Amino acid sequence: MLYIESKKGFIVLYREEYVSNTKIRIKIGLVEVEIDTPIESLERVMDSMPSLLDRVSSALASLPSTNTTNSTSDTPVVEPPEISIEKGDTLSDIILKIFKTPWGRSERRLADVKKVLEYYGLPYPKQSVAVTLLRLAQHGKLRRFKGEDNEFVYTASMELLNDYDTGVL
């Protein structure tokens, strides 16, 4: 993995050898874009990157904020996602179901995932949840990166969202 530091953020470039595509993830401030493209069109994509980032920033700025705050504190209220848990579901299966919902498209900390599991009556140990999140990120099902407070946050990967959109669960 190659990191290129800049004033506004960082760029992460990496290539998976078993796939003929190159994945590029660019994060500037709160805006992050991930592109999966064949190596042949990489230069053309990189040339159009500044205008793409401007458009994404503009689109995100026009959206209303999704965080609601509790009137008694500054802690965001976490609305648990609606999922169906089957008897044979493993912790990985349950976490993937959670991240396939719109709730999983936002950055979520370990504590957020643990609260949702507890909401469904599944009080897994913190270490078990942390290891499962890490393994799902290593297998490309989730994205894992450090948030603003230097704590790891997780979001649904493009692969997971594509599986959800195409009905492959």
**Tokens 């894992």 found at:** 144
What CA–CA distance (Å, rounded) separates 73 from 76? 8
* Confidence at residue 94, expressed as pLDDT on a 0 to 100 scale: 95
* Confidence at residue 6, expressed as pLDDT on a 0 to 100 scale: 45
- Does 98 fall in a domain? yes
Residue 16 has pLDDT above 90, yes or no: no
Shared domain check, 52 and 98: no
**Number of structural domains, the chain?**
2
Q: Which of 47, 62, 77 is the last residue of a domain?
A: 62
Residue 4 has pLDDT above 50, yes or no: no
What CA–CA distance (Å, rounded) separates 11 from 55? 18
* Confidence at residue 124, expressed as pLDDT on a 0 to 100 scale: 94
Q: Which residues pair with 166 in a beta bridge?
A: none
* Mean pLDDT of the chain, nearest integer: 76
Residue 12 has pLDDT above 60, yes or no: no
Residue 29 gets the label, from left (phi > 0), alpha (psi -120 to 50) or beta, of left
Which range has the worst mean pLDDT, 56-70, 87-101, 134-148?
56-70
Percentage of residues of the chain with pLDDT beyond 70: 65
pTM greater than the 0.75 cutoff: no
Most confident segment among 3-7, 134-138, 147-151: 134-138
3-state secondary structure 101-122: CHHHHCCEEHHHHHHHHHHCCC
- Does 111 fall in a domain? yes
Stretch 102-129: mean pLDDT:
93
- Does 81 fall in a domain? no
Tens of pLDDT along 144-165?
999 888 899 999 988 877 765 5
Contacts of 116 (CB under 8 A, 6+ apart): 78, 80, 81, 98, 103
- Does 84 fall in a domain? no
Tens of pLDDT along 37-64?
887 887 888 788 777 777 776 766 666 5
- Does 86 fall in a domain? no
Q: Give the domain extent around 54.
A: 2-62
Residue 7 has pLDDT above 60, yes or no: no
Residue 101 has φ and ψ, to the nearest 5°, of -85, 165
The CATH number covering residue 110 comes to 1.10.10.10
Stretch 103-129: mean pLDDT:
93
Q: What is the DSSP letter of 30?
A: T
Stretch 22-32: mean pLDDT:
67
